[in-house]
Amino acid sequence: MRLEDMILVSVDDHVIEPPTVFQNHISKRWAERAPRLVFDAKTRMQTWKWEAGASVTPFICAVVTLPPEEWGYDPSTLAEMRPGCWDVKQRVRDMDANGILASLCFPSFAGMCGSFFDACKDRELGYAALQAYNDWHIDEWAGSHPGRFVPLPLSPLWDPELAAQEVRRVARKGARAITFSEAPESFGHPSVHTGHWDPLFEACCDEGVALAIHIASSNMAPCMEAQAKLAPISCVR
């Protein structure tokens, strides 16, 4: 396969995060409190755990090569998956075989919009862990094979000013997209129709960063949020 023959850019891929996500990117201050991928010999499950809760990877996120009748939502381990789900070298090999030039990968254990970090009551820890995740995603996952991935960091879902700050930070690292929720109000935060998130939107406009919003990036079934019906159409700039 020649690189010039690959013309497909997939903008709805996913990454199954390896256990080393935080290993090289979180400061010593927070290292002992960072999320860890833990294997339970009794349940034979792998779970990301920390003081803010736990998250498993449902098998539906890693069903590549399997027939539909074997798909499911049961928690899965890395050993049950095709290595290309979580090993970036193997992912690029699979991309080559499929004619995929570039890939944008949404998170798995962290939630489609970073809700895993939003659940942390210690906001300093939550932001430190989120930044470490973003640095891993940009520098290691995407950075290991320049030009083959569109970096997709996470935005702090709990603070529009902090989210704007993270947009500007990751833009300096080369990111041109960042995740966000389809309904932040479902996590107890203001709706996008209130003006609360204008600092984030303005930062995205300034830096040329797109908001990547995946279906199921909220805590509710798809519906038209009430305030959307009343909000006038306006532009941040």
The CATH number given to whatever domain includes residue 59 is 3.20.20.140
Q: What is the pLDDT of residues 35-52, one digit of tens each?
A: 999 988 877 788 999 999
Within a domain: residue 185? yes
Within a domain: residue 235? no
* Contact predicate 157/118, CB 8 Å: yes
The model's pTM:
0.89
Question: Who has greater pLDDT, 226 or 71?
Answer: 71
Within a domain: residue 215? yes
The two structure tokens encoding residue 158: 């709990």
Domain that holds residue 99: 3-230
Number of domains in the chain: 1
Q: What is the pLDDT of residues 123-151, one digit of tens each?
A: 999 999 999 999 999 999 999 999 999 99
Within a domain: residue 45? yes
Beta-carbon contacts of 227 under 8 Å, excluding residues fewer than 6 positions away, are 191, 193, 194
CA atoms within 13 A on the CB side of 40: 11
Got the DSSP string for 133-181? HHHIIIIIIITTSTTSEE--PPPPTT-HHHHHHHHHHHHHTT--EEE--
What mean pLDDT is reported for the chain?
89
Q: How far apart are CA 99 and CA 96, in angstroms?
A: 5
> Quick check: 108 pLDDT over 70?
yes
Within a domain: residue 111? yes
Q: What is the pLDDT of residues 185-207, one digit of tens each?
A: 999 999 999 999 999 999 999 99
Within a domain: residue 236? no
Within a domain: residue 237? no
Within a domain: residue 141? yes
